[in-house]
Chains A and B, each alone.
Chain A
């Protein structure tokens, strides 16, 4: 892949990247994609398509067994994993808030690890809680178990943004929420990401969500990228894999996907 010229704007680049666990069958293989600064790339596909594996290759929770993944022009394996991850916000479906810490300590953890001064952490936490629609006075000292699912994921997003990382990875962040809360968070997140100008990689199996949030949509099937399209053109794509996926999810006789 020496011919690939990485543009100055490619924040993340997969070069023939693949991953298999302990020499087993490849979870993902032959991934080639450049992710541009400020865009939201949605990885779309059914369960087991390799979306989460692809995401974890970016923050080096997994290391590619073939090819390489570059973040800001440098292979992930050449990064200090801790430094790399501090530059990448990470939001997962299960949220994973620290149950023994109140909301403000959860959100302020990375800044604290980064050695910020207390007043600065405090100010940042308030700012972030407001940003995700949680009144600091009411929520800062609550424990995670005292929050609803939607509130928890708001805290999860605030925590990921805490040290202002240029990259945000989101693994089905709204997947466990009820439809109403999910739509609400999608709407707010859509507005939020315009404001933040981050490079976002967003995993989902929900076509509607992909269309709402993605700048581009990358369809995955059986560990491979089978088509990358700007969201606007995605539904019109004539690519067989895309058509097959769309037909499969709109199999019911309802006009859900127009």
Chain B
């Protein structure tokens, strides 16, 4: 035994209340997830559409100012859509909406991949390593456990959907140098946040349900893919039938 070993010491710190206990699970899940280089790459790739969104919004900001920086682009645009260049502010909401629409559509598909990568192990690994007795012998309710695990998915989806869209919005605002842009596009921003939350909560609940079905997390992407593609195909067929 080392000479400086003091053996067991009592601890006299304070414990937090029960209300935020789920946050410990979320923080831990995010930390463990970020250890994976594969997941880090997936998140970085998820930022590529956001870069595109930010680029277009910034470009549009400069178009609205008729900046010399985008003079060649303005010339091309003037030939194609002369009314657009004549009064770009008039088309602001449409342009921003189209940009965000494409961004969210891309991120929706990307989120489905991200959610399955993050979510498949969240409960199945706890089942495999029999971690549930360790959780529930501590002051934790089932809802805390579940909320903590869902929080992990919301955090990761937020990283590729909500945070980039907020940054792109801020950049677009900065490049337009016009505060009225907030009045025009704030509902768009709020809708984006709400859309990100809806995606992460609904798909997150579903992947957690799948994750709790098996101790082997390898099967879960297969279930996920079958249900995702199956529901898309069914939706397509029903839509065609309805129109036909």
The answer on A and B forming one complex is: no
Chain B interface residues toward A at CB < 8 A = none
